């Protein structure tokens, strides 16, 4: 298979404009004849649905939540980047482009990232027009802050709820179209299969989560905006419902899955407190600006932190990275914390945590200054842990947070299956091997508001509307397959619950394919995964029936896909023997323990093709060429 990314010719800055001029258009009178399915109502899905409906297409939008407003984009805290240069600090489209490419450790396409930076400004305009209450200066103009180690202030924010406000803006635009009857919105509806007819994506299968009814939906194009797969680790900062099912089932139908091994671990999360833990809560990274990270020097030291004298503490980041210290990048900080905990020096229940201590900062700056900077975070921490961070150092631990990998798409955001478009976190396109802070929101909205509405039109202009109906045999085949899977789960009547299996899967993935991976750990994972999966299909216990609201059954389907997907992730991680961004291979590091890229061998996108269940997937490579920037090695010494 030849992967054609369809990147336009010409200078970087002109590529998108050129392409827009070439794209075919659908006659306004014909637009209403085309039906588009959008799955997911996060930033990407909601903005795409609304924009497409505004253009005049018929849109059917689906989400598993009870309301479109609850998609997990809502939980993004920090902000959204744009190259507005409002603070006059020298920012530009090129700088945002460069920072994003470099932050992604040179594993993303130049053309895609440049387009993202170009569009970033328009997104802010659009959101303000929709009524997103961004933070303002007293002048009434928009406020910016610096974020994620960027040297310019380019992040727009709405308190700590930027994702929520952007999503509500897109959700409201979506609701307006629902009211205008241009969008049929299906909530509590989970996509269980993609229907491909004559090589093109022409519909999906949906399970109504209330009645359990499985229905077919035909369309002229399908858009997946179903988010990331961090829940393969069971514990992550993702919502409980986030899953890989939609993208994975598209993968089974022939869509390529790109770079699944690029996962991002966030260093400052609240640690696990027990086996019952259901998810992890992220706290802003800004805490590391003033907090000092340490563990006891002695193993299994059970003393209270204040009883451990200075000489018996190991400020391991300051020790290992004297110039960056506690501000070392996310992946380095995360890995170092894991190392000391694996060494038996972790703190808190279970020993998976390190201290983040504000005592020195409080002495230096005074408690009021600390309260002003971090008061809300301290409050949140206290609410969750019941400990007062002013009196006792916080405990933090890294947690899976975002996944850069996703379905392979070309410059048009179309997968290798014509008619299947993938946007937002669900695709692989813009973040390379690592995503910068405040860039996820930017990408989701760029895809949904300003890229897909153009490129999807180009595809539709070249297809006839309403080619296939749900009576087509491909739909019938899918219905049979999906129903039989449901029956299989129900009839198994084994002994172990879905959550139990998911926890086991998550722990395995975290231990063997988490923050740092090695040839040995990945081979072990690939050896153990089929065994657990085999037990899953033998010993799973799901009560009730398929014809009702059955939350265990929903989870069973998702976890089943996570099992298969986990293998794909491990295959990808195993084959990429370099370290880059969020993918750290122990074998590939600099003498100082930094990630060592191997540009000669691995400067490509790894796009995997499904073969047979249980068989090795087929690797396709899309070479990455860099015409405008020079590749450099990161250093934080």
Partner 1 sequence: MKLKLRIWRQKNAQSQGRFETYTAENVNPHMSFLEMLDVVNEDLLGKGIDPIAFDHDCREGICGACSLMINGEAHGPGRGVTACQLHMRVFKEGDEITVEPWRARPFPVVRDLVVDRSSFDRIIQAGGYISASTGGVPDANAIPIGKPFADKAMDAAACIGCGACVAACPNASAMLFVAAKVSHLALLPQGRIEAKPRVSAMIQSMDNEGFGNCTNHFECEAACPKEINADFIARMNREYLQTKICPEVS
What residues pair up with 215 in beta bridges, in sequence order?
A: 206
Window 206 to 245, contacts with partner 1 (CB under 8 A)? 210, 237, 239-241
| Among 108-116, 164-172, 428-436, 504-512, the segment contacting partner 1 (CB under 8 A) | 164-172
Site string for partner 1, 254-273 (x = CB under 8 A): -------------------x
How far apart CA 192 and CA 205 sit, in angstroms, is 5
How far apart CA 182 and CA 177 sit, in angstroms, is 5
Q: How far is CA 363 from CA 4, 370, 391, 395, in A?
A: 58, 10, 13, 20
Query: Quick one: tokens of 263?
Result: 């996962």
25 binds partner 1 (CB under 8 A): no
Q: Kindly tell me which of 45 and 260 has the beta carbon lying closer to partner 1.
A: 45
For residue 523, which of 515, 511, 512, 533 has the smallest C-alpha distance? 512
Q: Kindly tell me which of 187 and 263 has the beta carbon lying closer to partner 1.
A: 187
Among 450, 459, 501, 562, binds partner 1 (CB under 8 A): 450
Q: What number of other Cβ atoms are within 10 A of residue 637's Cβ?
A: 11
Window 381 to 410, contacts with partner 1 (CB under 8 A)? 383-386
Among 2, 179, 302, 600, binds partner 1 (CB under 8 A): 179
CB of 11 to partner 1, least distance (A): 25
DSSP, collapsed to helix, strand or coil, labels residue 533 as helix
Window 294 to 333, contacts with partner 1 (CB under 8 A)? none
Q: Kindly tell me which of 240 and 538 has the beta carbon lying closer to partner 1.
A: 240
Window 562 to 601, contacts with partner 1 (CB under 8 A)? none
Among 178, 492, 586, 619, binds partner 1 (CB under 8 A): 178
How far apart CA 455 and CA 424 sit, in angstroms, is 15
Q: Kindly tell me which of 551 and 635 has the beta carbon lying closer to partner 1.
A: 551
* CA torsion through residues 96, 102, 106, 107, sign: negative
172 binds partner 1 (CB under 8 A): yes
CB of 621 to partner 1, least distance (A): 35
CB of 466 to partner 1, least distance (A): 25
CB of 307 to partner 1, least distance (A): 22
Q: For residues 602 and 595, is the Cβ–Cβ distance under 8 A?
A: no
Window 41 to 60, contacts with partner 1 (CB under 8 A)? 47, 50-51, 54
Among 15, 19, 70, 182, binds partner 1 (CB under 8 A): 70
Range list of H helices, 541-584: 551-575
Window 472 to 531, contacts with partner 1 (CB under 8 A)? 497, 499-500
Q: What number of other Cβ atoms are within 10 A of residue 508's Cβ?
A: 21
Among 31, 35, 69, 95, binds partner 1 (CB under 8 A): 69
Q: For residues 39 and 441, is the Cβ–Cβ distance under 8 A?
A: no
Q: Kindly tell me which of 126 and 216 has the beta carbon lying closer to partner 1.
A: 126
173 binds partner 1 (CB under 8 A): yes
Window 107 to 146, contacts with partner 1 (CB under 8 A)? 124-131, 133-142
CB of 327 to partner 1, least distance (A): 25
Window 349 to 388, contacts with partner 1 (CB under 8 A)? 349, 383-386
CB of 246 to partner 1, least distance (A): 16
CB of 305 to partner 1, least distance (A): 18
* DSSP character at residue 583: B
Q: How far is CA 583 from CA 517, 521, 566, 594, 620, in A?
A: 8, 14, 15, 12, 19
84 binds partner 1 (CB under 8 A): yes
CB of 453 to partner 1, least distance (A): 7
DSSP, collapsed to helix, strand or coil, labels residue 520 as helix
Query: Quick one: tokens of 268?
Result: 């400052």
**Residues touching partner 1, count (CB under 8 A):** 79
72 binds partner 1 (CB under 8 A): yes
CA gyration radius, the chain:
24
What residues pair up with 197 in beta bridges, in sequence order?
A: 200
Among 88, 276, 484, 627, binds partner 1 (CB under 8 A): 276
Q: Kindly tell me which of 84 and 109 has the beta carbon lying closer to partner 1.
A: 84
CB of 427 to partner 1, least distance (A): 20
CB of 557 to partner 1, least distance (A): 16
Among 34, 62, 86, 501, binds partner 1 (CB under 8 A): 86
168 binds partner 1 (CB under 8 A): yes
Q: CA torsion angle for 473, 478, 480, 482 (degrees, to 10)?
A: -170
Q: How far out from the chain centre does Cα 442 lie?
A: 13
| Among 72-80, 189-197, 436-444, 456-464, the segment contacting partner 1 (CB under 8 A) | 72-80
How far apart CA 234 and CA 563 sit, in angstroms, is 11
Q: Kindly tell me which of 134 and 321 has the beta carbon lying closer to partner 1.
A: 134
CB of 306 to partner 1, least distance (A): 21
How far apart CA 575 and CA 613 sit, in angstroms, is 19
Q: Kindly tell me which of 385 and 589 has the beta carbon lying closer to partner 1.
A: 385
What residues pair up with 314 in beta bridges, in sequence order?
A: 295
Query: Quick one: tokens of 431?
Result: 């973040």
Q: For residues 440 and 403, is the Cβ–Cβ distance under 8 A?
A: no
Query: Quick one: tokens of 314?
Result: 């190991």
User: Largest Cα–Cα distance in the chain?
Assistant: 76
Q: How far is CA 278 from CA 233, 380, 498, 564, in A?
A: 11, 17, 13, 22
Q: Kindly tell me which of 126 and 518 has the beta carbon lying closer to partner 1.
A: 126
Q: Kindly tell me which of 187 and 247 has the beta carbon lying closer to partner 1.
A: 187
For residue 55, which of 182, 167, 203, 172 has the smallest C-alpha distance? 182
88 binds partner 1 (CB under 8 A): no
* CA torsion through residues 166, 169, 172, 176, sign: negative
């Amino acid at each position: 298979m030849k992967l054609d990314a369809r990147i336009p010719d010409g200078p970087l800055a002109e590529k998108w404009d050129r392409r827009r001029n070439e794209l075919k258009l659908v006659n306004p009178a014909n637009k209403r004849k085309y039906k588009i399915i959008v799955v997911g109502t996060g930033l990407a899905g909601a903005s795409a649905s609304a924009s497409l409906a505004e253009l005049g297409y018929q849109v059917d939008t689906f989400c598993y939540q009870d309301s479109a407003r609850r998609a997990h984009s809502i939980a993004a805290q920090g902000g959204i980047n744009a190259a507005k240069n409002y603070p006059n600090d020298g920012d530009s489209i090129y700088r945002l482009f460069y920072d994003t490419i470099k932050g992604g450790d040179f594993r993303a396409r130049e053309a895609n990232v440049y387009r993202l930076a170009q569009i970033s400004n328009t997104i802010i305009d659009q959101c303000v027009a929709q009524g997103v209450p961004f933070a303002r200066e007293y002048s009434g103009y928009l406020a910016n802050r610096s974020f994620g180690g960027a040297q310019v202030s380019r992040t727009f924010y709405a308190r700590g709820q930027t994702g929520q406000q952007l999503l509500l803006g897109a959700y409201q635009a979506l609701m307006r179209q629902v009211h205008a009857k241009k969008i049929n919105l299906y909530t509590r509806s989970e996509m269980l299969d993609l229907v491909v007819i004559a090589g093109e994506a022409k519909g999906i299968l949906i399970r109504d989560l209330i009645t359990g009814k499985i229905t077919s939906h035909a369309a002229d194009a399908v858009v997946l905006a179903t988010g990331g797969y961090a829940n393969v680790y069971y514990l992550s900062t993702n919502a409980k419902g986030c899953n890989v099912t939609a993208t994975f089932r598209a993968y089974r139908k022939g869509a390529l899955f790109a770079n699944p091994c690029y996962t991002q671990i966030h260093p400052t999360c609240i640690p696990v407190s027990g086996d019952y833990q259901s998810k992890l809560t992220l706290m802003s990274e800004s805490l590391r600006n003033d907090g000092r990270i340490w563990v006891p020097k002695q193993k299994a030291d059970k003393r209270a932190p204040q009883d451990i004298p200075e000489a018996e503490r190991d400020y391991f980041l300051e020790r290992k990275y004297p110039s960056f210290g506690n501000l070392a990048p996310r992946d380095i900080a995360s890995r170092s914390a894991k190392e000391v905990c694996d060494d038996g020096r972790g703190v808190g229940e279970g020993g998976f945590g390190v201290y983040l201590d504000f005592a020195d900062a409080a002495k230096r700056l005074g408690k009021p200054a600390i309260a002003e900077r971090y008061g809300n975070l301290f409050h949140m921490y206290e609410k969750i842990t019941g400990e007062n961070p002013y009196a006792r150092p916080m405990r933090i631990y890294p947690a899976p947070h975002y996944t850069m990998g996703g379905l392979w798409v070309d410059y048009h955001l179309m997968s290798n299956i014509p008619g299947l478009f993938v946007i937002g976190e669900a695709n692989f396109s813009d973040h390379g091997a690592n995503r910068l802070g405040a860039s996820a929101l930017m990408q989701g909205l760029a895809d949904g508001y300003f890229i897909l509405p153009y490129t999807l039109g180009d595809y539709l202009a070249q297809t006839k509307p309403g080619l296939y109906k749900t009576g087509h045999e491909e739909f019938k085949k899918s219905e049979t397959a999906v129903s039989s899977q449901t029956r299989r789960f129900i009839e198994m009547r084994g002994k172990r619950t879905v959550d139990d299996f998911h926890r086991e899967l998550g722990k395995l993935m975290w231990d063997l394919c988490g923050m740092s991976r090695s040839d040995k750990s990945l081979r072990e994972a690939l050896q153990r995964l089929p065994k657990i999966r085999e037990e899953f299909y033998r010993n799973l216990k799901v009560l009730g029936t398929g014809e009702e609201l059955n939350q265990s059954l929903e989870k069973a389907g998702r976890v089943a896909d996570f099992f298969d997907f986990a293998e794909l992730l491990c295959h990808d991680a195993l084959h990429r023997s370099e370290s880059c961004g969020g993918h750290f291979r122990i074998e590939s590091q600099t003498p100082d323990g930094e990630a060592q890229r191997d540009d000669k061998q691995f400067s490509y996108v790894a796009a995997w093709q499904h073969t047979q269940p249980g068989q090795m997937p087929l690797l396709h490579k899309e070479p990455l060429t860099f015409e405008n920037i020079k590749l450099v090695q990161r250093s934080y010494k």
